[in-house]
A and B are shown apart, each in its own frame.
Chain A
Amino acid sequence: MRGVLSDRMGAALLMAPLLLFLVLAYAWPFLGVVKWSFTLPTPGLGQYEALLTDDLVQSVFIRTLRIAAIVTVVSVAAAYAITVVWVRGSPAQRLIAEFCILVPFWISVLTRAFGWVALLSNRGLINTWLQSIGFISEPLALVRNEFGVIVGMTHFLIPFAVFPLASAMRSLDDRVLLAARGLGSSRMRTFWTVFVPMTRSGIIGSALIVFVFSLGFFVTPAILGGGRSVMIAELIYLRIFQSPDWGLGAAISVVLVLFVGALMALLFRYVRPRQLI
């Protein structure tokens, strides 16, 4: 029989395994982490107080926000340039742009970080080449510092910035652009006064995604920063495994989740989730 009751039971039976799995393996342990932040090493709000007063934690927070802001601006601008060609170029241009966006996207974060080490290190391709043409005598410090971190993170995040931009550019009506040109507007002026404003939702979505991703970034800063440019995620790792100061690591995680949650709420006020794919 196929009554209302059996339908509801069917839904419950099909959905239960995954929901149960995520409650037990994800939601419950997260509450455990929240508990750590209030109980380790001693019960109380001590860890949250430390977040507000500890100089090291403060400087890491500020560095993370600064790097995330720079990476966001550079990534969105670069992504915008290549997305224009991917969405509106000739068929050959579109194919090349797609290749350049998707191949890095699918390659692991470690391989990509390693590629940057191979390019930027003291005996890497760039320094070797600049020295061989006699442009510099000492290798430039391009990696194991903030510059290396920004380059590596920008490289990782450009493909992620592309998708919301592409979705905004695809839904833009060509006739508006042709009308602007027909009315005597120059190419540049049409781009800045018509094209860019009409893709605003894509720019906001793309910037927020890149910014949120940058805040929790771990592998690239750890490798390309070489321990000298520590960001929040690496600080959590160090607190858990080197100090070990589980309470502070947990408290930073809780604050990070709250911050990212607020940004996501902001994101969905401006952009509908469908537009992001």
Chain B
Amino acid sequence: MPTYRPGPVSLVIAALVALFLLMPLLAVIPVSLTPSRMLAMPSGELSLRHYRALIEDPRWIDSILLSIRIGVVSSAFSSVLALCFSLGVWMFQPRFTAALVGFVLLPMVVPPVVSAITLYFLLTSMSGFSSFFGYDTWLGVAMAHSVMTVPFATVLILVSLSQLDRRIDLAARGLGASVWERATRIIIPNIKFGIVTAALLSFVLSWEEIGVTLFITSVNAITLPRLMWMGLRDNIDPAIAALSVILIIITVLVLAVRSVMAKPRGGR
């Protein structure tokens, strides 16, 4: 417990920063309830028409379903690759570990727009070979999202492995367990929480991904952020406000559940 507490001046400045951080999230609530067809504050009466538009307009539903499909596939793919890689690093501690991990983390460090042009190059080259795996296809987007999420999944799994007691693995090894048995019966059950978190984070990152997606889709693979982007660039559609309110509520609920679940572990 810190004995040195922030004084009144710090508290006032921090409160202003907190207000700044929450302001744009609160601003979308009144806009989503406006009866007007354009972006405006409700004057007097409130309306749920923009929430209804989300359910009735097939474009929103289609893009939500597509985003879920891409998110599930890329999250599963990147979590499995990240898990195998991390197990290899942890169990065998090969030479050049730092260089290999550094290489895997590159897509996280390189500016997203450079990753975007790189993946654009990849998918347009692949389009020449296959019509369902290149530019503007859902499998192409899932693969590009995997490139972008795999560093985050790897970091989370490596962090949970670093907290695992090596002696339990040594004991299993000493008792004659094979590599496969050590991985599936000793290590994986002990880092379950980390693996689930990695998969969840990969899904969320893919679900929100827009920088790369803009470069590699045009008319067929319209994910939810891509559709929001089109709405924001052309004419500002208050349906986006309704969608934003729903997404913010889901985020707050998930964070609340997570903090309740994390409490007994004493983690942050």
Contacts and interface: CB of A to CB of B under 8 A. Distances in A.
A158 B109 contact: no
Interface stretch (A23-31, A45-53, A55-63, A199-207): A23-31
Interface in B1-30: 2-7, 9-11, 13-14, 16-18, 20-25, 27-28, 30
Contacts of B204: 106
A240 B120 CA distance: 10
B81 interface: yes
A79 B23 CA distance: 16
Contact of B94 (A15, A36, A112): A15
A117 B89 CA distance: 46
Interface residues of B, number: 89
Contact of A118 (B11, B27, B228): B27
Interface in B116-165: 116-122, 125, 143-144, 146-147, 150, 154, 159
A17 B83 CA distance: 11
Contacts of A38: none
Given A18-B150, A253-B114, 17 more contacts: A8-B94, A21-B146, A89-B5, A93-B6, A99-B255, A115-B24, A116-B27, A117-B236, A119-B24, A159-B21, A178-B3, A191-B10, A216-B113, A237-B116, A253-B118, A257-B114, A260-B109
B100 A19 contact: yes
Of listed B11, B24, B112, B228, residue having the most chain A CB within 10 A: B24
Given A11-B91, A121-B39, A237-B215, A25 B147 contact: yes
A218 B121 CA distance: 18
Closest 9 CB pairs of A and B: A216-B111, A115-B24, A14-B88, A11-B92, A233-B113, A29-B122, A15-B88, A108-B208, A100-B18
Interface in B210-268: 210-211, 214-215, 225, 228-229, 232-233, 236, 240-241, 244, 247-248, 251-252, 254-255
Interface in A95-149: 96-97, 99-104, 106-119, 121, 123-125, 128
Contact of B225 (A28, A82, A108): A108
Contacts of A87: 2
Contacts of A54: none
Contacts of A123: 38-41
B208 A240 contact: no
Interface in A163-217: 174, 177-178, 181, 187-188, 191, 212, 215-216
B3 A115 contact: no
Nearest to B153: A18
B31 interface: yes
B24 A155 contact: yes
Contacts of A232: 113
Given A128-B41, A215-B111, A29 B125 contact: yes
A111 B22 contact: no
Contacts of B11: 85, 89, 93
Contact of A29 (B9, B111, B119): B119
A10 B91 contact: yes
Of listed B117, B154, B229, residue having the most chain A CB within 10 A: B117
Contacts of B146: 21, 25
A219 B84 contact: no
Interface of A (DSSP majority class):
helix
B104 interface: yes
B48 interface: no
A102 B24 CA distance: 14
Given A107-B25, A114-B228, A14 B85 contact: yes
A267 B35 CA distance: 50
B150 A84 contact: no
Contact of A108 (B23, B81, B173, B247): B247
A22 interface: yes
Contact of B23 (A119, A128, A222, A240): A119
B4 A88 contact: yes
A264 B109 CA distance: 9
B215 A10 contact: no
B255 A111 contact: no
A236 interface: yes
A43 to B, nearest CB: 18
Contacts of B3: 174, 178
Interface in B70-92: 81-82, 84-85, 87-89, 91-92
